[in-house]
Amino acid sequence: MKKLSRQKVPYINPKNSQENKCEKGAYTVKLTSHESNVTIVASGTEVELALKVQVKLLENNIHSKVVSMPCMELFDKQSEDYRKDILEENSLIVTIEAGNIMSWQKYMKAKGLNLGIDKFGESAPYKEVYKHFKLSEEDITSLIQNKLRE
């Protein structure tokens, strides 16, 4: 298996399959309940962070769905039904990006969270940069919980 990141992150696919889930631009990685009211969207190495946030949320009885969106352009070309299945209308949409967040804003609903890094010049191991920009699993979990209380 080839490594596609400088960061040491685990392989998230629980089983090998011939299905190309990326071909539609976005797909559900893990769902804790069909009654979930939070959808966490990320791509690349941030999907691991999204899965860690999902665990923290579940510890607080908050169900969620983690979506990997490796290609916005492909996702945008899918049917409206598919897009609504991935980004449910009644769900709090939370995007996580270790870079500029502007491109994610088109998926935000009125009360969504768009988390990322909108400035340059920080250099450190990725976990330290995440902590500095409040992109740790604890910080994101807290932001989501606070948003749900609004």
Q: In order along the chain (150 residues), what is the average pLDDT of each group of 10 residues? A: 49 63 91 92 92 96 96 97 94 89 85 77 58 78 93
Closest CA to 64 of 19, 33, 21: 33
Burial class (CB in 10 A: 0-12, 13-18, 19+), 53: buried
* Residue 139 neighbours by CB under 8 Å, 6+ apart: 131
Q: Where are the beta strands (DSSP E) in 1-148?
A: 27-31, 38-42, 64-68, 92-97, 113-116
Six-digit token string for 90: 């009644």
User: In the chain, helix, strand, coil percent, each to 5?
Assistant: 35, 15, 45
d(CA 109, CA 39): 11
Task: Give, rounded to a whole angstrom, the gap between the first and last alpha carbons of the chain.
Answer: 44
Res 5: pLDDT: 47
Six-digit token string for 99: 């870079």
To the question of domain 23-149 being in CATH 3.30.310.50, the answer is no
